[in-house]
Amino acid sequence: MMSQKKCESTIQKGGEMKKGEKIYEGKAKIVYKTDDPDLFIQYFKDDATAFDATKRGTIIGKGVVNNKVSAKLFELLESKGIPTHFVKLLSDREMLMKRLKIMPIEVTVRNITAGGMSKMLAIEEGIVLKEPVLEYHYKRDDLHDPLFNEYHIKALGLATDEELDRVDTLSFEINEILKAFFSERNLDLVDFKLEFGKHKERILLGDEISPDTCRLWEKGTRKKLDKDRFRRDLGGIEEAYQEVYKRVMG
Ligand code: UDP
């Protein structure tokens, strides 16, 4: 049983983990240590950036939406056997997560053409792909997260063959689970970005899954309900995030 002393040191009034030192502040999130070296706290901000942070703004309520939507989707994925870093929600903007050593690879999965793929291959947006496309991007803001392939990754020692196989398998499984989940809520999952990391030698899904990291289009109307409203100045940004929240949590 946990001693009273240990209990007091790790749990604040109200049952929350105590936030320790800030170890990372990104564009949309802050990560804090806790008293437990295996656990971190992820705090979601309302700040939004696009195009390598050359465009900046605030989407009111985004942090709450992204925290709660991510928590719900991590729970869904865990229930289907996908290992994630998610432990529990701590507050509207904070989740407790397992400490991860993040792999410097962003995995993108695409079901419908949009964004970077449409631009790179000069194809219109909205074409339903015959099968999902998986891309790796090198997680390097200074280089604009360039597309690279499994040979680069292995040759640079960023992941082994076995680890990449695992990442691919998990990514395609996650796609099937999320596609079905959003489809039941009248949304098409166009594409999304995942980040994986290692916790005690095990590969877990990390980061977040939210309208910041997914493209979600309303079925039929193809109305964009994601960060493209901010990137492309389409207006109705807050409403779009709230709509996704309602559909995911409802
Ligand atoms: N994405 C992300 N972070 C990034 C880049 C992309 O979460 O740094 C997400 C984006 O929201 C979209 C998917 O990954 O759902 C594919 O993005 P794409 O490669 O088309 O790049 P973009 O059009 O955002 O430049």
- Which pair of structure tokens corresponds to residue 204? 């877990």
Q: Residues 19, 21, 22, CA angle at the centre, nearest 5°? A: 95
The CATH number given to whatever domain includes residue 217 is 3.30.470.20
What are the percentages of helix, strand and coil residues in the chain, rounded to 5?
35, 35, 35
Q: Residue-wise over 41-51: b if at least 16 C-beta within 10 A, else e?
A: bbbbbbbbbbe
113 and 228 assigned to the same domain: yes
Query: Comparing C-alpha atoms, which of 241, 247, 248, 250 is closest to residue 65?
Result: 241
Domain-terminating residue out of 98, 123, 146: 98
Which amino acid, residue 238?
Answer: E
CA–centroid distance, 117 to ligand 1, in Å, is 10
Q: Give the position, in ligand 1's atom list, of the atom nearest the Cα of 135.
A: 19
Pocket test for ligand 1, best of 54, 135, 191, 224 (most atoms within 8 A of CB): 191
Q: Both 92 and 183 in a single domain?
A: no
Residue 73 lies in a domain: yes
85: CATH: 3.30.200.20
Q: Which residues pair with 31 in a beta bridge?
A: 24, 42
Domain-ending residue, one of 98, 130, 164? 98
Instruction: Please tell me whether residues 113 and 209 are part of one structural domain.
Output: yes
Atom 18 of ligand 1, nearest CA residue: 116
* pLDDT, tens digit only, all 250 positions of the chain: 344 444 333 444 434 678 999 999 999 999 999 999 999 999 999 999 999 899 999 999 999 999 999 999 999 999 999 999 999 999 999 999 999 999 999 999 999 999 999 999 999 999 999 999 999 999 999 999 999 999 999 999 999 999 999 999 999 999 999 999 999 999 999 999 999 999 999 999 999 999 999 999 999 999 999 999 999 999 999 999 999 999 999 9
* Domain range for 46: 16-98
Exposure on the CB side of residue 128, measured as CA atoms within 13 A:
6
One domain for residues 175 and 60: no
pTM above 0.85, yes or no: yes
